[in-house]
Amino acid sequence: MNLTQTKYEVKDGIAKVTLWRPGKMNALTPVMRKELIHLFSEADRDDAVRVVVVTGDGDAFCAGADLSSGGDTFDQSIKDGKKVSWNEHRDGGGRISLAVFQCRKPVIAAINGHAVGVGITMTLPMDIRIVSQDAKIGFVFARRGVVLEACSSWFLPRIVGISKATELIYTGRVFRAREEKHSGLFNYVLPGNEVLTKAMAIANEIAENTSAVSVALCKALLWHGLGEDDPQSAHLIDSRCFFWMGRSRDAYEGVQSFLEKRKPQFNMKVSQDMPDFYPWWKEPKT
């Protein structure tokens, strides 16, 4: 794909995705949406990618949806000259969130500046969020006469709890990231010039020291474990994954490298070495 509103580079196992709309605070457009969906799929397929880091160009992460088209920005009832019914429509931000969620590689949001609307909700399915302390953050949907999107009704309460989620959504207030330092929304709240550095340091730690297949399975266990009915059902799938990995060459290498006091050389690949029972959850109908 010819990228015009994002940038993508892979180095040392880390794919860096940059939202790139100079002068527009990286506001989301349909073009950027399509590029992001493509890039998360690309990162998922590429065994050279161990971790994905997402950041914004310039001083902003993403100012939200591009509202320059006017009052009908969110009116999706007509597309390509044809009427669209509510049951045909699929939220664009949600499609990005699902692409992130379906990526088997860890995804780190390096929120280098303001993130409002879809600019913040698209980061919720990302595994780790690191933010500039001065960034303006806002779940502003009720102030724009719409509702939360990008699957954030599922992600946000699981991240910050239902009570904090209702406060952020019902008020639609815009706040500085440092004001919610202890809410659970962010892993780290740092000076702006330290955000990407911290994200890359965590990404390097993952890429250099861990088994790709182990991390992919752990990611699935954590996220899909949120939907299990009770600890017993989680125990059953934990046990199955542990049994399968315990027989793998990465497990043998992990133990042997520890005994030999050397860095492990894991070589199992997410593209071809996942268990035959993966995925173990039932995919919903689209």
pLDDT in tens, 208-262: 999 999 999 999 999 999 999 999 999 999 999 999 999 999 999 999 999 999 9
What is the domain range of residue 266?
210-286
* End position of a domain, from candidates 206, 236, 263: 206
Q: Which of 175, 206, 237 corresponds to the end of one domain? A: 206
Per-residue pLDDT, 66: 74
Q: Does 193 share its domain with 106?
A: yes
**Of 206, 227, 255, which marks where a domain is finished?**
206
16: β partners:
9, 53
CATH of the domain at 96: 3.90.226.10
- Same structural domain, 198 and 220: no
Co-location of 46 and 181 in the same domain: yes
The 114-116 sheet, strands edge to edge = 60-62, 114-116, 136-138, 174-176
The verdict on pTM exceeding 0.75 is yes
Extended strands (E) in the chain: 6-11, 14-19, 51-56, 60-62, 78-79, 82-83, 107-111, 114-116, 128-132, 136-138, 174-176, 188-190
Confidence of residue 87 (pLDDT cuts 50, 70, 90): low
Instruction: Give Cβ neighbours of residue 77 (< 8 Å, ≥ 6 apart).
Output: 83, 84
Same domain, 17 and 103: yes
In a domain, 47, yes or no: yes
CB 195, CB 139: distance < 8 Å: no
Query: What is the 8-class DSSP label of residue 112?
Result: -
Question: Can you name the residues that pair with 137 across neighbouring β-strands?
Answer: 115, 175
- What tens digit of pLDDT does each residue of 126-147 get? 999 999 999 999 999 999 999 9
Residues 251 and 171 placed together within one structural domain of the fold = no
Average pLDDT, the chain: 94
pLDDT level of residue 78 (50, 70, 90 thresholds): low
| Residue 240 in domain | yes
Q: Is the domain of 73 the same as that of 189?
A: yes
Residue 1 falls within a domain, yes or no? no
The pLDDT tens digits for 132-188 are 999 999 999 999 999 999 999 999 999 999 999 999 999 999 999 999 999 999 999
Provide the residue type at 197 as one letter. Answer: T
188 has which bridge partners?
130
pLDDT of residue 83: 78
Q: b/e per residue, 33-48, with b = 16+ CB within 10 A?
A: bbbbbebbebbbeeee
Distance CA 56, CA 51 (A): 17
98 plus 202 within the same structural domain: yes
